């Protein structure tokens, strides 16, 4: 009896290993395909076989040197600059708003929270057109600051997760500090922020990654001004019908170049992500 139970368990484990193995391969194979074919030497858009026959770094080289049609290095720099600035502004807004809602008590606090939640539920692109004309009125369209504004201005509305995190910090800390004569300003900067590293890292990384992935706002704001595209927008342009024939492999290598740093960042962030979401999100 006991033996067969053990056997059953081993069989179950083997089955699980097989399932995990097969699914794992299915899950990563598109990415492996991307990586392999970004080094493919022969052929254009598609080849009638799975593995490339010859490998080269030519397309990576062309990506960074042939910049007259598609200026990838410029896009990369654009995205980096936009990401850094909107990351700073977003992080500050999110932390300020969530700290206020979580730790400070004032009149109409509930109302602010509810209005904030309701605003967050409108489909994002509903406001795009109005936003465009607003930026146009400020003479900001087709310029990078417009992107920074778009990515970071509304970020305060994403307070839910970090508010959930701040809610879990014992109130006694604030009280003790108040007795020692600290102002709320000092409590925020010197007591709460230093112990909020997980949520700080989470907020910084998510707001840094955001601009690398957006391709909708860029298209509306930049229009045909290719110099100010970001990576996401530019890569999408490369697979448009008119360019796809010549630039497909550059699209692949460009995707790899942008995916690698983001992937590394995300894998670093993973634990903070889980921690942040479980602390601030669903509390079973």
Partner 1 sequence: MTFIEYKSLSRSEQIMYKVKEFFSLLPGKLKGFFGAIGKFFVNLVKNFIGGLKGYGSRFVQGDMSTKLSYVVMGFGNLTRGQSGKGLAFLAAEIMYIIYMAKFGLRYLNMFDTLGLVAKRVVTLPNGRQSIEFVDNSMLILLYGTMSILLTLVFIAVYIANTKSAFEAEQNQKAGKKNLTLKQELVDFLDGKYHITLLATPVLLISVFTILPLVFMILIAFTNYDQQHVPPGNLFTWVGLQTFRDVFKVSEGANKGYTFVQLTKWTIVWAIFATFSNYIVGMVLALMINKKSIKFKVLWRTLFVITIAVPQFVSLLLMNQILQDDGVMNVILGYMGIGPISFFNSSAIVARVTVIVVNMWVGVPYTILQTSGILMNIPEDLYESARIDGATPVVQFFQITLPYMLFVTTPYLIQSFVGNINNFNVIYLLTGGGPQKDMNLYQAGQTDLLVTWLFKLTMDSNDYNTAAAVGILVFIVCATLSLITFNLSKSSRNEEEFS
Angle of CA points 202, 208, 210, to nearest 5°: 100
Nearer to partner 1, 197 or 268 (CB): 268
Binding window for partner 1 (CB under 8 A); candidates: 30-38, 61-69, 70-78, 197-205: 30-38
Residue 134 as a binder of partner 1 (CB under 8 A): the answer is yes
Nearer to partner 1, 68 or 154 (CB): 154
Distance CA 101, CA 157 (A): 11
Write down the least CB distance from residue 267 to partner 1, Å.
Answer: 6
Distance CA 187, CA 179 (A): 11
Distance CA 86, CA 148 (A): 5
**Residue 44 Cα to chain centre, angstroms:** 31
Residue 156 as a binder of partner 1 (CB under 8 A): the answer is yes
Which positions from 228 through 257 interact with partner 1, judged by CB under 8 A? 232, 235-236, 239, 248, 251, 255
Radius of gyration of the chain (CA): 24
Nearer to partner 1, 26 or 68 (CB): 26
CB atoms within 10 A of CB 184: 15
Sign of the alpha-carbon torsion through 258, 264, 269, 271? positive
Residue selected from 45, 77, 176, 195 as contacting partner 1 according to rule CB under 8 A = 45
Are 67 and 73 contacting, i.e. CB atoms less than 8 angstroms apart?
A: yes
Which positions from 60 through 119 interact with partner 1, judged by CB under 8 A? 93, 96-97, 99-100, 104, 106, 109, 111-112, 114, 117-119
Residue selected from 7, 11, 22, 24 as contacting partner 1 according to rule CB under 8 A = 24
Q: Which residues are CB-contacts of 45 (< 8 A; sequence separation ≥ 6)? A: 244, 245, 248
Nearer to partner 1, 68 or 199 (CB): 199
Nearer to partner 1, 87 or 149 (CB): 149
Nearer to partner 1, 71 or 103 (CB): 103
Residue 215 as a binder of partner 1 (CB under 8 A): the answer is yes
Residue 20 as a binder of partner 1 (CB under 8 A): the answer is yes
Q: Which residues are CB-contacts of 76 (< 8 A; sequence separation ≥ 6)? A: 231, 257, 258
Which positions from 170 through 209 interact with partner 1, judged by CB under 8 A? 170-171, 183-185, 188, 209
Distance CA 221, CA 86 (A): 16
């Amino acid at each position: 009896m006991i033996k067969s139970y053990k056997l059953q368990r081993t069989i179950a484990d083997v089955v699980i290993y097989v399932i995990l193995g097969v699914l794992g391969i299915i899950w990563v194979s598109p990415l492996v395909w991307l990586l392999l074919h970004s080094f493919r030497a022969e052929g254009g858009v598609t080849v009638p076989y799975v593995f490339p026959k010859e490998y080269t770094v030519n397309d990576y080289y062309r990506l960074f040197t042939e910049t007259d049609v598609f200026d990838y290095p410029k896009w990369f720099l654009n995205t980096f600059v936009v990401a850094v600035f909107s990351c700073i502004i977003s992080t500050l807004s999110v932390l300020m708003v969530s700290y206020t809602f979580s730790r400070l008590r004032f009149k109409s606090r509930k109302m602010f929270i509810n209005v904030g939640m309701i605003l967050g539920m409108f489909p994002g692109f509903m406001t795009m057109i109005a936003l465009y004309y607003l930026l146009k009125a400020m003479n900001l369209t087709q310029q990078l600051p417009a992107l920074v504004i778009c990515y970071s201005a509304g970020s305060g509305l994403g307070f839910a997760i970090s508010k959930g995190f701040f809610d879990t910090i014992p109130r006694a800390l604030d009280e003790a500090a108040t007795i020692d004569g600290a102002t709320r300003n000092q409590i925020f900067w010197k007591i709460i922020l230093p112990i909020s590293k997980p949520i700080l890292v989470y907020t910084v990384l998510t707001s840094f990654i955001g601009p690398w992935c957006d391709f909708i706002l860029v298209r509306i704001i930049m229009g045909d001004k290719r110099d100010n595209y970001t990576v996401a927008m530019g890569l999408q342009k490369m697979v448009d019908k008119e360019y796809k024939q010549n630039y497909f492999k550059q699209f692949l290598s460009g995707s790899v170049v942008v995916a690698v740093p983001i992937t590394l960042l995300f894998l670093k962030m993973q634990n903070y992500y889980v921690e942040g979401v479980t602390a601030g999100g669903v509390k079973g």
